[in-house]
A and B are shown apart, each in its own frame.
Chain A
Amino acid sequence: MPVQLKRLLESCVPKGVQWAGLRVVRTSRRMYAAKDGRFDVAFQGFDEGCMVEVLHEGQFGYAAIGSLDPAAVRTAAERALALARAAGPRAVFRFGPDVRPATVLRFESPRKQPLEQAADRLAGHAVKLTEAMRISEKIVQAAAAYELRDVETRIVSTSGADIEQEVHTVISWAQAVARDGAVTQRRTANGWFARVHQGGTELLNLEGSIPEAVQLAGQAIELLSAEECPSARMDLVLAPDQMMLQIHESVGHPLELDRILGDERNYAGSSFVKLSDIGTLRYGSPLMNITFDPTVAGEAACYGADDIGNTARKEHIIRDGILVRALGSLESQARSGRPGVANQRAQDWYRPAIDRMANLNHEPGDSGFEDIIASIRKGIFMQTNRSWSIDDHRNKFQFGCEHARLIEDGKLTRLIRNPNYRGVSSSFWRSLVKVGDASTFAVFGTTNCGKGEPNQAISTGHASPVCAFRDVEVFGGES
């Protein structure tokens, strides 16, 4: 980043502030999509802007502009101060500069091939992939997309923070939609843009992606004539590409500390978890171990420090089923008096940072996949998230998957379509009875976790083994 940010900061800091900081974000994106053996979309984007923050008598004010022009940044800082000054008497909490640590660090996602060099061939490959998926007239849509993102963030502050982070992300997605009369079925590569990883195109196994996509198309066709999911209570085994959604919705969001403090009540909701539960609540069975982990190689939300400069490290959130720590940033920790993690994140330069998930994972256990299946007399194995809905306290949920097989007397048997299940978070995780070992562990994520007012969407990572739950209500589509 060529601009001398420290000098820019010095030139724009208004008089009378306790602290000031700049967060400059520069993003480059390329996306290619194809459909049915033909080109669909090519997109190239570039964005750069600056978030100016000031602290005045305990109240932060912010101003975001798409410019690094010193005069524009100075004007933005003055407005941030005016807003903070006017809001001060009505502040919900008086913060000190300690919630903006003077961290100095550099972080970069490991990557073998820079974006510019690697991306050009992806448009042609997407076309080839979707052409290969058209294995039958019953395939009414074969789609594929690749997206590459480079995000450079630089943070400087009057207390001495100097952080440079470069996050390189690669996203791939493929979908086959099959139709036979009134019945439609869909299979995707692990869910809606769930293959989101930090790294470069070396992660993309382009050759292997073609037979895999052909297999997806075949599965979509098979599902057309599969049995409808029965409505019954049975044991439920979830693959990692559904566990990611289960963790995200019924562990991650309820444990965001700003939710527990009530900040999100008007929009995304609050939580069934109370402050007094932290350290004591039995969230799940003793097999449940959830970590906040910014260090898993290639996972979507690795970073060295969050967007207010707090150094990130791995922390247990749930240990042996007990809630030990919430997902709360330095600001939430100051307001609540509870420990947290480095998770104050912003979508981009034009949004203020708030408590978010980052990488939130279920640690592997010690059961092999075959052992898990063999242990179940009557159950169902579901793969790949398709639908999700949960209440505003993050308790009553309903999730749907693309693909399932019944488990009967310890064996995977009949193919099932439209598998759905519903439950209540506060009891569901206590029915966790098996956790897969490292051989079942897989890393996925999402690019569109939405929250906050004003709204913002962010990427999160979720890694998990296969897990089994006892006695869950499952049901299918309307016959």
Chain B
Amino acid sequence: MRTMPECETLFDKARGLLLDPLAGGESLALEFAGESSDFLRFTGARVRQIGCVQQAGVRLTYYRDGRTVGAGFELSGNKKVDAERAARILAEVRRQAGFLPEDPWQVLPSASEQSRGEFPGRFPGPDQLADEVLAPGRVTGEAGADFVGIHSQGAVCRGAANSRGARHWFAAETFCTDYSAWLPGGKALKSSYAGRQWDAGEYRKRLESAAPRLKALARPEKIIPPGTYRVYIAPEALAEFVPFFSWNGLGERSMREGESAWRALREGRRTMSPLFRASQDFSLGVEPRFNELAEAAPERLVLVEGGKLAATVVSTRSAKQYGVPSTAAPEDERVRSLVIDPGRLDAEKAVDVIGTGLYISNLHYLNWSDYDSGRITGMTRFACFWVEDGKIEAPIRDMRFDESIYHLFGDKLLDASHQRILVPDTGTYMLRSLGGSLLPGLLVRDFTFTL
């Protein structure tokens, strides 16, 4: 399996293959995304699928005569094959630049900074992988629960460079065991163990801590009628709202093109609670600051503060189009490394503070249900409980909610916990994701459940 230094060598080879042949009048920016990962998928504490994936992809943006052409290809690691692929791609982007319409918002790469971060890790080898991940799962079995999930581990690498000399590299050896423990009646709790240094003892401890929580889940289920309820939304549940800061979210382009559900905040027609403050903050250290044009974003960007929109995320292209400063956002203007400020609530006393209402541990399948009013719908999932007079009474049958961000983070927000959790991004679409969010729990009144 490719090591971090081997990935970096491949990145530098790609830089040479794509940047060295450029002639006068040509510019180029490239980004590299690679991984060497083992995956162990399990169900019932047994192996469903096991394997490994080694990928190294390059995406580039080529500029000439006011034309902009994007392209991408996979690096094989074979010198001859990669040279042929790079040459083929360069020939094609040059050909297309000959007939494409002019790009009205083209901004040539201008960043020239360099950065490098490498974070080694340690985890089980292929011969020990199944035993190390699954053997401790017998703890959940002893509690009467099925152990289901995915373990991924290995090197995850990102790089960016451009024809102005910028070069950025970020590589980390990480692991993540994302799992759930399922009782025979269908109730489950979910958790994860992620980091860079695998500690079998720590892993076992986390699994053992599930047993008392599973006991509460085994109680008879309570059916809650639709209505509004006082709720505590745990950080892992709040994490399901994080994508909505990006999707039809706080990107400048989305605001201008009428798609953002946060437009009412921007236009002053709605406000958020003064308790709610959200920022993009790379000091979390979970992902690189650079984008596909090798621009580095500021370490911190306050997005919402004092009830108002403080900033949008702005790509260089949008900056030109709309005449606003760039925040070196990626082209898709997604919010990265989201941090929501803590409050005063003690999370250990969340159940007390709810009084009577719902403890929401996880949510599922959220989607915008109405953009103009900022409404999001979704389902409760896993270990959500009905709480009465400050005591957990029963797990609930899953409910559908439909609530506006202007209520959730606005007039219905009562407090946030002062403890926060770093919830990693566990997505593995195409590649293992980097990133995560630092989130408190939220106490909210009159949260709307519809079905």
Partner of B370, one of A48, A83, A456, A478: A478
Q: Give Cα A84–Cα B96 distance, bound, in whole angstroms.
A: 46
- Distance in angstroms from B61 CB to nearest chain A CB is 9
- Residues from chain A with a CB closer than 8 A to the CB of B74 are 46-49, 66
- Distance in angstroms from A246 CB to nearest chain B CB is 15
- Residues from chain A with a CB closer than 8 A to the CB of B57 are 47, 66
Partner of A177, one of B45, B78, B146, B258: B258
Within 8 A of B (CB), among A31-79: 34-35, 38-39, 41-49, 59-69, 72, 76, 79
Q: Confirm or deny: B367 has a beta carbon within 8 angstroms of a beta carbon on chain A.
A: yes
Q: Confirm or deny: B421 has a beta carbon within 8 angstroms of a beta carbon on chain A.
A: no
Q: Confirm or deny: A387 has a beta carbon within 8 angstroms of a beta carbon on chain B.
A: yes
Q: Confirm or deny: A388 has a beta carbon within 8 angstroms of a beta carbon on chain B.
A: yes
Shortest Cβ distance from B77 into A: residue: A67
- Residues from chain B with a CB closer than 8 A to the CB of A48 are 74, 76
- Residues from chain A with a CB closer than 8 A to the CB of B428 are 453-455
On whether A140 and B69 interact (CB within 8 A), knowing A67-B78, A352-B49, the answer reads: no
Q: Confirm or deny: B201 has a beta carbon within 8 angstroms of a beta carbon on chain A.
A: no
Q: Give Cα A456–Cα B49 distance, bound, in whole angstroms.
A: 14
On whether A92 and B48 interact (CB within 8 A), knowing A39-B101, A87-B130, A477-B370, the answer reads: yes
Partner of B70, one of A42, A61, A91, A478: A42
| B52 engages A63 (CB within 8 Å) | yes
Partner of B96, one of A44, A49, A72, A141: A44
| B101 engages A124 (CB within 8 Å) | yes
| A387 engages B368 (CB within 8 Å) | yes
Most buried by B among A140, A390, A398: A398
Partner of B369, one of A47, A92, A123, A420: A420
Shortest Cβ distance from B47 into A: residue: A87
| A391 engages B364 (CB within 8 Å) | yes
Q: Confirm or deny: A80 has a beta carbon within 8 angstroms of a beta carbon on chain B.
A: yes
Q: Give Cα A267–Cα B96 distance, bound, in whole angstroms.
A: 41
- Residues from chain B with a CB closer than 8 A to the CB of A127 are 101
Q: Confirm or deny: B149 has a beta carbon within 8 angstroms of a beta carbon on chain A.
A: yes
Partner of B257, one of A67, A141, A396, A454: A141
- Residues from chain A with a CB closer than 8 A to the CB of B377 are 387, 389, 398
Q: Confirm or deny: B250 has a beta carbon within 8 angstroms of a beta carbon on chain A.
A: no
| A184 engages B371 (CB within 8 Å) | yes
Q: Give Cα A186–Cα B53 distance, bound, in whole angstroms.
A: 40
- Distance in angstroms from B10 CB to nearest chain A CB is 10
- Residues from chain A with a CB closer than 8 A to the CB of B199 are none
Interface string of B93-115 (1 = CB under 8 A from A): 10010011111100000000000
| B52 engages A62 (CB within 8 Å) | yes
Within 8 A of A (CB), among B209-241: none
| B76 engages A69 (CB within 8 Å) | yes
Interface string of B301-312 (1 = CB under 8 A from A): 000000000000
On whether A46 and B43 interact (CB within 8 A), knowing A66-B56, A84-B50, the answer reads: no
- Distance in angstroms from A170 CB to nearest chain B CB is 18
Q: Confirm or deny: B390 has a beta carbon within 8 angstroms of a beta carbon on chain A.
A: no
Q: Confirm or deny: A457 has a beta carbon within 8 angstroms of a beta carbon on chain B.
A: yes
Q: Give Cα A60–Cα B400 distance, bound, in whole angstroms.
A: 39
Partner of B69, one of A42, A177, A450: A42
On whether A454 and B131 interact (CB within 8 A), knowing A63-B52, A123-B101, the answer reads: no
Interface string of B35-57 (1 = CB under 8 A from A): 00111111111111111111111
Partner of A72, one of B41, B77, B258, B366: B77
- Residues from chain A with a CB closer than 8 A to the CB of B179 are 266
Partner of A83, one of B44, B51, B368: B51
Q: Confirm or deny: A292 has a beta carbon within 8 angstroms of a beta carbon on chain B.
A: no
Shortest Cβ distance from B429 into A: residue: A455
User: In the complex, how many residues of chain A place their beta carbon closer than 8 angstroms to a beta carbon of chain B?
Assistant: 86
| A262 engages B85 (CB within 8 Å) | no
- Residues from chain A with a CB closer than 8 A to the CB of B127 are 82, 85-86
| B38 engages A184 (CB within 8 Å) | no
Within 8 A of A (CB), among B378-406: 378-379, 381, 398, 400, 402, 404
On whether A352 and B68 interact (CB within 8 A), knowing A86-B130, A422-B451, A450-B429, the answer reads: no
Q: Confirm or deny: A269 has a beta carbon within 8 angstroms of a beta carbon on chain B.
A: yes
Shortest Cβ distance from A335 into B: residue: B48
Q: Give Cα A393–Cα B186 distance, bound, in whole angstroms.
A: 10
Within 8 A of B (CB), among A431-460: 450, 453-457
Interface string of B55-79 (1 = CB under 8 A from A): 1110000000000111111111110
Q: Give Cα A388–Cα B365 distance, bound, in whole angstroms.
A: 9
Partner of B99, one of A65, A120, A266, A388: A120
| B73 engages A45 (CB within 8 Å) | yes
- Residues from chain A with a CB closer than 8 A to the CB of B152 are 454
- Distance in angstroms from B363 CB to nearest chain A CB is 10
- Residues from chain B with a CB closer than 8 A to the CB of A391 are 364-365, 379, 381, 398, 400
- Distance in angstroms from A87 CB to nearest chain B CB is 4
On whether A456 and B429 interact (CB within 8 A), knowing A92-B48, A177-B257, the answer reads: yes
Q: Confirm or deny: B300 has a beta carbon within 8 angstroms of a beta carbon on chain A.
A: no
Q: Give Cα A398–Cα B54 distance, bound, in whole angstroms.
A: 39
- Distance in angstroms from A74 CB to nearest chain B CB is 14
| A392 engages B381 (CB within 8 Å) | yes
| B93 engages A44 (CB within 8 Å) | yes
| A453 engages B149 (CB within 8 Å) | yes
Shortest Cβ distance from B371 into A: residue: A184
Q: Give Cα A90–Cα B50 distance, bound, in whole angstroms.
A: 11
Q: Give Cα A457–Cα B369 distance, bound, in whole angstroms.
A: 23
| A398 engages B48 (CB within 8 Å) | no
Partner of A389, one of B49, B81, B366: B366
| A69 engages B77 (CB within 8 Å) | yes
| A266 engages B52 (CB within 8 Å) | no
Q: Give Cα A303–Cα B12 distance, bound, in whole angstroms.
A: 39
| A179 engages B258 (CB within 8 Å) | yes
| A396 engages B131 (CB within 8 Å) | no
Q: Confirm or deny: B323 has a beta carbon within 8 angstroms of a beta carbon on chain A.
A: no
Most buried by A among B53, B75, B371, B377: B53
On whether A80 and B52 interact (CB within 8 A), knowing A46-B73, A177-B257, the answer reads: yes
| A392 engages B101 (CB within 8 Å) | no
Q: Give Cα A453–Cα B190 distance, bound, in whole angstroms.
A: 15
Q: Confirm or deny: B134 has a beta carbon within 8 angstroms of a beta carbon on chain A.
A: yes
Partner of A44, one of B56, B69, B75, B149: B69
Partner of A90, one of B81, B126, B130: B130
Shortest Cβ distance from B254 into A: residue: A141
Q: Give Cα A80–Cα B56 distance, bound, in whole angstroms.
A: 19
On whether A83 and B81 interact (CB within 8 A), knowing A184-B258, A266-B178, A456-B429, the answer reads: no
- Residues from chain A with a CB closer than 8 A to the CB of B375 are 477-478
- Distance in angstroms from B95 CB to nearest chain A CB is 9
| A396 engages B68 (CB within 8 Å) | no
Most buried by A among B127, B179, B428: B428
| B451 engages A59 (CB within 8 Å) | no
| A477 engages B70 (CB within 8 Å) | no
- Distance in angstroms from B252 CB to nearest chain A CB is 13
- Residues from chain A with a CB closer than 8 A to the CB of B400 are 389, 391, 396, 398, 422
Shortest Cβ distance from B45 into A: residue: A90
- Residues from chain B with a CB closer than 8 A to the CB of A400 are 369-370
| B47 engages A90 (CB within 8 Å) | yes
- By a beta-carbon cutoff of 8 Å, the part of chain B in contact with chain A is 1, 37-57, 68-78, 81, 85, 88-89, 92-93, 96, 99-104, 126-131, 134, 146, 148-150, 152, 178-180, 182, 186, 188, 190, 256-259, 263-264, 267, 269, 364-373, 375, 377-379, 381, 398, 400, 402, 404, 427-430, 432, 450-451
12 additional contacts, CB 8 Å, given A67-B78, A92-B47?
Answer: A44-B96, A60-B49, A60-B50, A83-B126, A184-B259, A265-B180, A266-B190, A390-B379, A396-B398, A396-B451, A422-B451, A478-B404
14 A–B pairs (Cβ distance < 8 Å), ordered by A: A43-B70, A44-B93, A49-B55, A60-B50, A63-B53, A68-B76, A265-B43, A391-B364, A392-B398, A396-B398, A422-B450, A450-B429, A453-B428, A454-B41
Nearest first, the 6 A-B pairs at minimum CB distance are A62-B51, A478-B373, A454-B428, A453-B150, A67-B76, A477-B370
